[in-house]
Structure 1
């Protein structure tokens, strides 16, 4: 969407983070991360020690809160405390901001990007003291939810001090109803009421709930339950309305899978409806299920620093460490492609020279190869093979690689990565499940008169079932449906094996890949 150019300062001028480049902070060096305009939720994935929390801590210090210079979990000293080993001298990161105007249209609110003359790009760092001065940061309300408040009174050995308390109803009915509805959906529970407990002695406050017919407090509450409550409470607190920023460390901690999925769905929905942004860290690789709805960044430690890859899973990154140095390493999108490559290398007796791994979605092909390159591993013996239905043309592949290897200083690396991306050849590329559609057409076009007697009975039976399947709106359903009708296992192997033996399309399908595998074998 084209941005409007503003000459006068908008009444509701606001800022969001377009990108952050961590030049030096803790163990992170030269790590750029982008936040696309069309995604309100960002997930940062990575293994323990990869630097996920450090990135969140930096983001937490970018803005100053509304109407004050700073608050808890908003200052560098909250996260980067000087000590004997590190006083954080020369730490530095820069932020490029996206300017926008908050627009109200009936009951909806939106952030409309605009171009303004006074561009706001800010460098944060420490040279004797942290800069910029907290009060001079751009204003935006942010809320940080870390692990420090995860424990409940059930984990507190001194909880008996808080045995006497009074129940206080602090939530407006409309807000409470929204909170209860969200909690019931996320945790699959039956909450009836929420309240706050104030101790009779001291000034301790903690959570109370009614679930079903049982009233209880933090004294008997689970930590995962409390975490979800804290997130939901802040979403409906009113502080995030009008371009707030919710930052959550380890969002998945102590949550079962269903609750995790429901929580992410909740944040996607409410962040759009209420016009705020969310960024969180997670170990949970099932977050990739939301890849079309949120911005996913995978952090990977390459030994001398970290790399941030957009839109991939940690599982794909692990493949980089499993590369066999004395073999041709072939990376494919899925098990169907793996089956095709297995048939190829078996027919040519190359099983002991070729190792096959999965990389998932097409974009991960560039991740795998760039990861090998950046860790100084040879890539001339590696091939990333696309299914042939997306990123078909050289410009499309170049665009894909540029998303992973950003920066003009990586021109040579980009060219090398591009040179190792290949694809299956297809006749039809414009339907859902294009590879399966081509396989079906090629298989059904085989003349049974050319099939040997040993294969004929199986072939005729399988072809009959294939032809009985009507037109499909999504050809990913082809093999499961054929397996159901024919009552056969390993159905992909059987169909592709027949194509490899009896269809002239087989050579067309794998021609380029066969050539490149033999080239790679020659240089080992």
Structure 2
């Protein structure tokens, strides 16, 4: 089929013709530099035409969901936070979140990817914000793993540093302690489930490990950990502190929305069959 399309394109250009055809073959996407692809999607009310073949279009064609945006975080708490931010922007299905473990691993993993030749244009590495808070501290760690005095090494270090984001914690405060302090500062709400979280959090006054500020809430409410983290993050995401806390991740994700969200070029009258249009 690819060879046929190339021949049609050459003939159309030679004779100044416009050729329109339909196909359900996802391999047509590989010829986007040669033909003008429009993806037609029908709803119960109307048929929409999308300018570009974004992840949602690929999902409809192939049944797989590409995740073009990649976020690396320290642990499952940060994972729940970043997925919540993505969900609030309606792009969660396009975001893959992976863990690198202890904060110091951030620099090793990032450097390894860059040295392997990956540009990481659509990736960020998110630190909790309790250590390596400043760019100077991050720069020292990057220089320790990305060595070299040549121009390429300098550019690599500079571009890698831009891939590191921090959650905005108060100084000398662990993330779990900060989240606990937000919850205990809340008054009762109209949501009884949220009220129970607030009540339990206020009963936790002192712990021997800062992680227990969150872990003990989950344990006392007898929740599965993933479910518990999700419910706790749902609660704090409704507070005034949330926007400032996640601002660096939120701003970066906003800058990437255009990469994954489909935009309609026009509304097409409902037709008997959906089609893909190729124009040479």
- Above 0.5 in TM-score? yes
Where does 1:6-25 land on structure 2 (aligned, <5 Å)? Answer: none
Where does 1:86-485 land on structure 2 (aligned, <5 Å)? Answer: 327-409=68-150, 410-427=153-170, 429-431=171-173, 434-448=174-188, 451=189, 453=190, 456-485=191-220
Q: Distance in 2 between matches of 1:405 and 1:345?
A: 30
* TM-score, length-scaled by structure 1: 0.35
Secondary structure at the aligned position of 1:422 is classed as strand
Alpha-carbon deviations, 1:371-415, whole Å to 9, x = none? 222222221211000000000011100111112111222111000
Alpha-carbon deviations, 1:462-499, whole Å to 9, x = none? 21111111222421122222222222332222111111
RMSD over equivalenced CA pairs, Å: 1.9
Where does 1:31-46 land on structure 2 (aligned, <5 Å)? Answer: none
Query: Which structure has more RCO (C-alpha within 8 Å, separation ≥ 6)?
Result: 2
Secondary structure at the aligned position of 2:97 is classed as strand
Q: Distance in 2 between matches of 1:325 and 1:403?
A: 34
Secondary structure at the aligned position of 2:237 is classed as helix
Q: Quick check: which one's strand share is greater?
A: 1
- Structure-2 residue corresponding to 1:167: none
Cα drift, residue 325 of structure 1: 8.4
Q: Distance in 2 between matches of 1:522 and 1:366?
A: 28
Q: Distance in 1 between matches of 2:122 and 2:251?
A: 13
Structure 1 residues 344, 368: closer, same or farther in 2, change over 3 A?
A: same
Which runs of 5 or more residues in structure 1 are unaligned?
A: 1-323
Aligned residues: 192
Secondary structure at the aligned position of 2:93 is classed as coil
Q: Distance in 1 between matches of 2:101 and 2:221?
A: 28
Is this contact kept in 1: 2:89–2:254, CA < 8 A? no
Q: Distance in 1 between matches of 2:187 and 2:204?
A: 19
Secondary structure at the aligned position of 1:475 is classed as coil
- Structure-1 residue corresponding to 2:29: none
Quick check: which has more Rg, 1 or 2?
Answer: 1
* TM-score, length-scaled by structure 2: 0.64
Alpha-carbon deviations, 1:140-191, whole Å to 9, x = none? xxxxxxxxxxxxxxxxxxxxxxxxxxxxxxxxxxxxxxxxxxxxxxxxxxxx
Structure 1 residues 499, 419: closer, same or farther in 2, change over 3 A?
A: same
Structure 1 residues 365, 457: closer, same or farther in 2, change over 3 A?
A: same
Q: Quick check: which one's helix share is greater?
A: 2
- Structure-2 residue corresponding to 1:506: 242
Structure 1 residues 521, 374: closer, same or farther in 2, change over 3 A?
A: farther
Aligned match of 2:228 in 486, 491, 497?
Answer: 491
Is this contact kept in 2: 1:366–1:404, CA < 8 A? yes
